[in-house]
Amino acid sequence: MPSKCTSSWSWKKILLLIVGLFISLVIIVAACIVIYTRTQNQLETKSWKGKGTSKYLKEIIIGRCYNYLTINPAIGEKDCYGIWEEFAKAVYQKKPCNITEENYRHLTELAGQTIPCHKSLLWSKTNYLVHRYTKATQDFLTLENTLLGYLADGLSWCGKSHSSGMNFQSCPDWNECDNNSVSSFWKMASAAFARASCGVVNIMLNGSAYGGVTRNESILRTIEIPNLNPRTVSEVRIWVMNDLNDHNRNSCNSESLMELKHYIEEHNLTSSCVNNYRPAQLLQCIENPEHAACNLCTKNIKRSIPQKYS
């Protein structure tokens, strides 16, 4: 008959064996999770064609927010840290190609502002000129001149589906998938800007661009124009700006512009068009003052000089 001591020792060995097996199982599971997570992260960082999240993104967003509020105190108080948290929440632990406009809705509300009537300036293929113009005159606002657009202008970002934080290695390119972090943001922001616009809304287009003044899939056509409210927008004025050093491929009477005007009017909006809006063209003349289009006075002077002096 075995002694009680021997029996007790056997149970201890069994208990130790069970504990050891449990600990080993926990270690194995934890190791598998770590390996799986690393593998998924590596797959994510290697699979995208676009550049990764901008370095110091959090600091840039918060810094830009405070800077904008300092320069534009009229828009009121904004929670810059709260805006960053909503920005991050939209993409954290989500697949970079599964970010919809809805993910940014609360962010759009937090950073929203009133757009004065007659001040909205939309654009397509004129990024450089349109922002030189708004900076020089301060008469109009593009989306990038609002708080929401200013925060993200020129930046790239995306999260990682299997962990918190941003992916600094690579992100989907704009056209790599429909619902990527950056394109969904700009679609939501563009729709909000268009809905907030009122009075006369101006659009600056590139008359020297190949392939017409706008692409059918452009944000201007697919997002901004459809979101202009005919009850609050009195007119859409198009400025067709030609590059002084290039050919004039499009004008107010060209097929591309006539088609765009028809598209605008299909949305119950009134439209008009002007070739080479003079105040904006004068900015082009700063870089090319000898161009014939920059000669401000010659024709008028000849007409106004009395005949006895001519």
Return the pLDDT at 290: 87
The CA distance from 245 to 235, in Å, is 31
Residue 110 has pLDDT above 50, yes or no: yes
Please give the average per-residue pLDDT across 94-118, as a whole number: 96
Q: DSSP 3-state helix, strand, coil percentages of the chain (rounded to 5)? A: 50, 10, 35
8-state DSSP, 120? B
Q: What is the pLDDT of residues 1-58, one digit of tens each?
A: 555 555 555 666 676 677 667 676 767 766 666 565 565 555 555 589 999 999 999 9
Return the pLDDT at 33: 63
What totals of helices (H) and strands (E) does the chain contain, helices first? 12, 8
The CA distance from 284 to 133, in Å, is 10
Grade residue 212 by pLDDT with cuts at 50, 70 and 90. confident
Return the pLDDT at 39: 55
Residue 177 has pLDDT above 70, yes or no: yes
pTM (2 decimals)? 0.81
Please give the average per-residue pLDDT across 88-113, as a whole number: 95
CATH superfamily for 50-309 is ADP Ribosyl Cyclase; Chain A, domain 1 (1.20.82.10)
Residue 308 has pLDDT above 60, yes or no: no
Residue 229 has pLDDT above 60, yes or no: yes
Residue 64 CA: distances (Å) to CA of 17, 61, 84, 212: 59, 5, 11, 35
Please, what is the average pLDDT of the chain?
88
Q: Report, as residue numbers or ranges, the catalytic residues.
A: 117, 198
Q: What is the percent of the chain where pLDDT is above 90?
A: 70
Return the pLDDT at 20: 64
The more confidently predicted of residues 91 and 7 is: 91
The CA distance from 251 to 257, in Å, is 7
Residue 166 has pLDDT above 70, yes or no: yes
Return the pLDDT at 304: 38
Which residue ranges make up each domain of the chain?
A: 50-309
Q: What is the percent of the chain where pLDDT is above 70?
A: 82
Q: What is the pLDDT of residues 295-304, one digit of tens each?
A: 865 444 344 3
Residues 196 and 81 sit within 8 Å (Cβ to Cβ)? no
